[in-house]
Structure formats: structure tokens, C-alpha cells
């Protein structure tokens, strides 16, 4: 049995206190505790504490330290339960301590995966051009439960998703102006798929986009692509050259009749 002989506040951390005890050989430093733990266990000069008390006080102080770390981590932005757990694991807190901290955070309303999902979806749809698919995967990676994810995705209206998809389509089409109409569509579809937009959204955007090229624009595109192909294929001759050119331009999405016309004009000197 030991008796508390002195309690002093730490100089750099005024919310922590050093506890000194006397086990019969004079006062000696025993441990330090958070102010909340000091109050919880009614630690004061003259109080007797046994070995079991030492263990219980130490465990509760570890919980308080972990809780303080979690609260500091939460101060910059809302976090998921999984993020908090991983953060505390990196701090090398045990599972029993982490579980106690998670319980306290929920009881204080500092943790709410549903609200996190809603806030995350709103941020992503307004600050990026991501479709629901990508946002869904990102929330999954953050450990958000399926139900919370589905609730959060309701914050993303279809008209807003169409608006974001249309911006990507417009940018992609500008970059693909030297491509054939078919290849421009394929590039646009691929870009939207990578950004996580659904097939329905993509089809609607493609339908609304001004992708249909005038014949002159399509001809300008085949001239650009055709001359590139010619430089790569000019090591071939005759039938082999013609077939290589046709295959290359067909894969680029140009119609057969336009390819034939280009090759004919190229053979005549342009």
C-alpha cells in the first residue's frame, strides 16, 4: 500500500499532474496523469492506493492520452471511425484502449460515418469532376460502411453529375479535335468511365455533346492522322504499305470511303 504524498502540475503541460507516493521510505515519483483522470479517481494528498489502483489509473490515463490525440486529429476535419482506428494504431495504442476511445467519441457525437460520407460527397462533387463511382470507391477505401456511403451519395444530384460529366466531355473533345469522330467518342467515353460516371450518365452526355463532325473537319483529321501513319509506314511498299495504312486509319475510327479517298490523293501527291 502506498500513500500519495505530493501532487504537482507539470510546467509544460498544465493539464497533467505528477503524482508522488510514500511507500514507507519517503516520497518518490510514481506516475503522471491527465487532469480528467486525477478528478475521476479523486487523487489527492494522503489518499492510499494499492497495486490494482496503479494498474487501473494507468489504463485510464492511456485512454485519456489516446482520446486527446484523437481529438487533435479530428480538429482539422471530420474523420471516419476507420481513420481514427488506423491513426491510433500507428501511435501504438492497444485495441482495448482504441475501442474505449471510439466509444467515447461516438458518445460525444464526434464520430458519425453517415455525416462524414455526406460531407465528403458534397466536397468532391463541388471541388472536383468525379462521378459517383470514384467517390464510392474512395469512401470504401476510407472504411465507410455501405449504408453510410449510399446515404452520402444521395447528396449528389443527377443534374450536378451530368454537369460535371459534360465539363470533362467538353475538355476531352477539344483535345481530340484531330481525331476521327468515332475515336473522339471513344476517348470521351473512356475519360468519363475513369472518372467514375455510370453508363447512363455517359450515354446522356455523349447524346447532348456536339460530337458530330462536319465532313471538312473529319477530312482535316484524317489528313493529320494519315500523314502521321504515312511517316510510320513509308518503309513498306506496294500492297503491304496500303494495307498497313488502311488498318491504322480504320483503327483510328475513320470510315472506309474516306480512307480510300485519302490514300488516292496521297498517291497523287496530296
Show which of 153, 168, 185 is a domain's final residue. 153
Domain shared by 182 and 103, yes or no: no
The predicted structure's pLDDT at residue 270: 47
More confident residue, 110 or 237: 110
Last residue of a domain, one of 83, 107, 131: 107
The pLDDT of residue 211 is above 70? no
**Distance, C-alpha 161 to centroid of its chain:** 18
Please count the CA atoms within 13 angstroms of the CA of 108 that sit on its side-chain side.
11
Do 85 and 142 meet the contact criterion of CB atoms below 8 Å apart? no
Residue 122 and residue 84 in one domain:
no
Residues 6+ apart with CB under 8 A from 238: none
What's the pLDDT tens digit per position in 73-113?
999 989 999 999 999 999 999 999 999 999 999 999 999 99
CATH number at residue 195: 1.10.10
Other C-beta atoms closer than 10 Å to the C-beta of 233 total 19
pLDDT at 176: 79
Contact 222, 181 (CB under 8 A): no
Both 99 and 6 in one domain: the answer is yes
Same domain? For 143 and 189 the reply is: no
Structural domain boundaries enclosing 31: 2-107
176 and 251: one domain?
no
Residue 11 sits in the same domain as residue 92: yes
Q: If you compute the radius of gyration of the chain from its CA atoms, what whole number of angstroms results?
A: 34
Over range 54-74, report the average pLDDT: 95
Whole-angstrom distance, CA of residue 262 vs CA of residue 264: 5
* Range in 62-66, 230-234, 264-268 the model is least confident about: 264-268
Helix and strand element counts for the chain (H, E): 13, 4
Same domain flag for 17 and 62: yes
29: enclosing H helix or E strand: strand 27-34
Do 12 and 58 belong together in one domain? yes
Q: How confident is the model at residue 213 (pLDDT cuts 50, 70, 90)?
A: low
Q: In terms of domains, do 149 and 163 share one?
A: no
The pLDDT of residue 118 is 96
> Where among 73, 107, 141 does a domain terminate?
107
Query: Mean pLDDT throughout 30-41?
Result: 93
Q: Write down the pLDDT at residue 212.
A: 58
Res 72: pLDDT: 95
**267 or 76: whose pLDDT is higher?**
76
pLDDT at 221 over 80: no
- What is the CATH classification number for the domain harbouring 128? 1.10.10.10
Quickly state the pLDDT bin for 186 (edges 50, 70, 90).
confident
Q: Give whichever of 9-23, 135-149, 215-229 has the largest mean pLDDT.
A: 135-149
In terms of domains, do 47 and 100 share one?
yes
Same domain, 96 and 129: no
Q: Are 145 and 224 members of one domain?
A: no
Whole-number Å distance between alpha carbons of 239 and 48: 102
Specify the higher pLDDT residue, 10 or 176: 10
- For the chain, what is the domain count? 4
242 pLDDT higher than 60: yes
Amino acid at each position: 500500500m502506498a500513500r500519495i504524498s505530493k501532487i504537482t502540475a507539470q510546467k509544460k503541460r498544465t493539464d497533467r499532474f505528477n503524482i508522488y507516493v510514500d511507500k514507507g521510505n519517503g516520497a518518490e515519483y510514481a506516475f503522471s496523469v491527465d487532469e480528467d483522470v486525477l478528478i475521476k479517481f479523486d487523487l489527492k494528498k494522503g489518499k492510499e492506493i494499492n497495486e490494482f489502483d496503479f494498474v487501473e489509473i494507468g489504463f485510464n490515463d492511456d485512454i485519456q492520452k489516446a482520446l486527446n490525440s484523437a481529438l487533435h486529429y479530428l480538429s482539422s476535419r471530420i474523420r471516419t471511425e476507420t481513420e481514427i482506428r488506423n491513426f491510433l494504431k500507428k501511435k501504438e495504442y492497444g485495441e482495448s484502449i482504441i475501442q474505449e476511445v471510439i466509444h467515447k467519441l461516438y458518445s460525444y457525437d464526434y464520430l458519425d460515418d453517415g455525416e462524414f460520407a455526406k460531407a465528403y460527397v458534397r466536397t468532391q462533387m463541388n471541388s472536383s469532376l468525379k462521378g459517383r463511382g470514384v467517390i464510392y470507391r474512395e469512401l470504401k477505401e476510407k472504411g465507410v460502411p455501405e449504408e453510410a456511403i449510399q446515404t452520402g451519395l444521395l447528396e449528389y444530384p443527377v443534374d450536378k453529375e451530368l454537369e460535371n460529366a459534360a465539363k470533362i466531355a467538353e475538355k476531352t473533345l477539344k483535345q481530340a479535335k484531330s481525331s476521327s469522330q468515332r475515336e473522339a467518342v471513344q476517348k470521351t467515353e473512356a475519360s468519363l468511365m475513369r472518372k467514375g460516371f455510370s453508363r447512363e450518365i455517359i450515354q446522356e452526355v455523349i447524346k447532348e455533346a456536339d460530337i458530330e463532325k462536319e465532313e471538312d473537319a473529319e477530312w482535316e483529321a484524317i489528313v493529320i492522322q494519315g500523314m502521321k501513319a504515312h511517316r510510320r509506314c513509308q518503309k513498306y511498299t506496294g500492297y503491304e504499305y496500303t494495307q498497313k495504312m488502311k488498318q491504322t486509319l480504320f483503327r483510328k475510327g475513320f470510315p472506309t470511303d474516306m480512307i480510300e479517298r485519302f490514300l488516292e490523293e496521297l498517291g497523287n501527291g496530296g
